[in-house]
């Protein structure tokens, strides 16, 4: 899994796990989701006479035994997921300067930490009207959602898009979701209010690098900025311009080496065809950026 938006990737992984666990739990219940076998009662249970005779289920286990085994399997799977995901979450929080609590023992507690990751301290909103505060919050949420779509795009295509426009598609930004591309403060009429900086280093992009930002400053002279790891900050214009200049300079230095890597990957016969195609597309994007 790529490093971008690590907290989102982990949340999505846990979501898939929860679905799987629920399915496993349901499958252990007699009669759930299956036709009633001949000779069974409408409730899905064997007739009392047959139960008294000690008839076994097709697996040779009683319903209680099946439920106990399923519960034990779910608990073991949860412990395995906590053990596997905790080091990754701990690294993300440490590198992002967030506090590191004790390792949770339950999956729900780990999920709570994942949801907390990526939230940032709110800037001083004293003196702001409720309307302005609401718009700033909406702008931050829009950028966070755009960040999720960047992660989904990379997960599917194995490279980051060359532009925000590439995020539009049936399974990505489409229809009513396109409204997240327009900042609530933007009255320009543009279809997209945000600028995007392609992660030149791919998955090796520094966590605090700028990924996307407001094209136009807000009325108070600040901009919302999406960072590579998913954090969204509201940044003063002078600070933003310095961050942007530093990153553009660093990207220019890294471009040549990354182009060489992408070119080599595109011709590497040891890779799959899909991997080579992804490397070729990434090479095209990097070459465009170098012009």
pLDDT digits (tens, 9 = 90+) for 169-193: 887 898 888 999 999 999 999 999 9
Question: Token pair 């301290």 is at which residue?
Answer: 121
In this predicted structure, the answer to whether residue 198 has a pLDDT above a threshold of 80 is: yes
pLDDT digits (tens, 9 = 90+) for 7-48: 444 444 444 444 444 444 444 444 444 433 334 444 444 444
Q: How confident is the model at residue 222 (pLDDT cuts 50, 70, 90)?
A: very high
Dihedral sign (CA 61, 64, 69, 74): positive
pLDDT digits (tens, 9 = 90+) for 232-286: 999 999 999 999 999 999 999 999 999 999 999 999 999 999 999 999 999 999 9
Read off the pTM. Answer: 0.62
Token duo for residue 137: 């919050």
pLDDT digits (tens, 9 = 90+) for 96-155: 677 778 887 776 776 566 555 544 445 555 577 899 999 999 999 999 999 889 988 888
How many CB atoms neighbour CB 100 within 10 A? Answer: 11
Q: Are 183 and 139 in contact (CB under 8 A)?
A: yes
Query: Residue 227 forms beta bridges with which residues?
Result: 210
């Amino acid at each position: 899994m790529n490093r971008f938006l690590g907290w989102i990737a982990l949340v999505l992984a846990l979501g898939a796990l929860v679905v799987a666990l629920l399915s496993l739990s349901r499958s252990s219940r007699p009669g759930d989701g299956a036709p009633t076998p001949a000779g069974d009662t409408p409730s899905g249970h064997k007739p009392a006479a047959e139960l008294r005779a000690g008839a076994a289920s097709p697996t040779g286990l009683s319903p209680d035994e099946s439920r106990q085994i399923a519960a034990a399997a779910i608990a073991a799977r949860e412990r395995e997921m906590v053990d596997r995901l905790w080091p990754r979450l701990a690294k993300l929080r440490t590198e992002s300067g967030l506090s590191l609590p004790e390792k949770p023992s339950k999956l729900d507690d780990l999920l709570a930490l994942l949801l907390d990751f990526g939230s940032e301290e709110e800037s001083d909103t004293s003196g702001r009207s409720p309307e302005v505060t609401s718009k700033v919050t909406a702008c931050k949420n829009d950028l966070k959602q755009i960040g999720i779509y960047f992660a989904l795009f990379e997960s599917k295509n194995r490279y980051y898009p060359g532009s925000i426009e590439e995020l539009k598609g049936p399974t990505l930004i489409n229809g009513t979701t396109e409204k997240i591309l327009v900042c609530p403060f933007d009255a320009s009429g543009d279809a997209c209010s945000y600028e995007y900086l392609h992660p030149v280093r791919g998955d090796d992009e520094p966590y605090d690098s700028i990924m996307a930002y407001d094209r136009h400053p807000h009325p108070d002279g600040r901009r919302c900025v999406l960072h590579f790891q998913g954090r969204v900050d509201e940044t003063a214009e002078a600070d933003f311009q310095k961050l942007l200049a530093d990153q553009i300079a660093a990207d220019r230095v890294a471009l040549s080496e990354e182009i060489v890597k992408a070119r080599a990957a595109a011709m590497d016969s040891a890779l799959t065809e899909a991997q080579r195609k992804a490397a070729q597309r990434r090479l095209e994007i990097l070459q465009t950026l170098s012009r």
